[in-house]
Chain A
Amino acid sequence: MADVNRGNRPLSPHLQVYRLPLVANISILTRITGIAMMAGGVLIVWWFVAGAYSPEYFAVADGLLSSWFGKVVLIGSLWALWFHFANGIRHFFWDFGKGFELPTVARTNWLVIGASVVLTVLTLLLV
């Protein structure tokens, strides 16, 4: 029989003493952006529901989404969406076992960050 005490050993304080590399911070940020972009998601669904309800109610929703508050939430959610999107694309490559070499990861880290900013600006300019 294997070591029966396996579940009871003390853990090393790895997370407290270890400075997370950029790729780990991007991973955490991908989770955070995935949840945070729901702020924009809720506003957008409310916008559609108001539009289905009545033109008067829609004017309120359309006005709020176009206000400075709506713009802050929507542009923030847009950047979150593109960041989550860009790192998701990197995950597709990882799923196929490609791009795990450290120099490649160091490069794609900045590719993800750069793409999220460029795509956000492009969306705001073109749409």
Chain B
Amino acid sequence: MTYKTDLSRVQGLGRAGEGVHHFWTQRLTSVALVPLTVLFLIPFGRALGGGHEALVATYGQFGHALTAILFIAVACWHFAIGIQVVIEDYVHGATKVALIVLAKLFSAVLGAAGVLAVATLLF
């Protein structure tokens, strides 16, 4: 038996002060990833297995480098907020916080490394 009122039970569990921002960012990044996925996969698939010459020939082109950078950055962003929802659904307490921080760090490092590497290939 609990003597808490309905209000006190839900207080502090609400919209976390950011409204639909998380949901909206998830949708926006997924819309952006529709064309970016296609634009990334075609040159990547052709350069794969072709050695360093094929890599430089592909990503030395501004357009291919730009779509690769956008794809990597947006995909890592989409992954970071997507895996956050999965963790929030299945893990609770301090473990939840630790896992979300780790997942976001992982996404940030992976995204930064990918963007920096493609930029290096262009210049």
A47 to B121, CA, bound (A): 12
Beta-carbon contacts of A96-127 to B below 8 Å, as 1s and 0s? 00000000000000000000000000010001
- Is B101 positioned at the interface, with any CB of A under 8 Å from its CB? no
> How many chain A residues touch B (Cβ–Cβ < 8 Å)?
36
**Chain A residues near B48 (CB-CB < 8 A):** 47, 62, 65-66, 74
Q: Is the CB of A8 within 8 A of B1?
A: yes
> How many chain B residues touch A (Cβ–Cβ < 8 Å)?
41
A50 to B27, CA, bound (A): 32
A-B pairs with CB below 8 Å: how many?
Answer: 94
- A-contacting residues, B2-47, CB 8 Å: 2-6, 9, 27, 30-31, 33-34, 37, 41-42, 44-46
Q: Is the CB of A7 within 8 A of B110?
A: no
Q: Is chain A's interface secondary structure helix, strand, loop, or mixed overall?
A: helix
Q: Is the CB of A8 within 8 A of B2?
A: yes
Q: A51-B117, A65-B48, A66-B48 are in contact. Are A6 and B6 (CB under 8 A)?
A: yes
**Chain A residues near B5 (CB-CB < 8 A):** 1, 4
Q: Which residues of A contact B (CB under 8 A)?
A: 1-2, 4-8, 31, 34-35, 38, 41-42, 44-45, 47-49, 51-52, 55, 58-59, 62, 65-66, 74, 81, 85, 88-89, 91-92, 95, 123, 127
> Would you list the 6 A-B pairs with minimal beta carbon distance, nearest first?
A127-B45, A52-B120, A48-B117, A66-B49, A55-B52, A52-B117
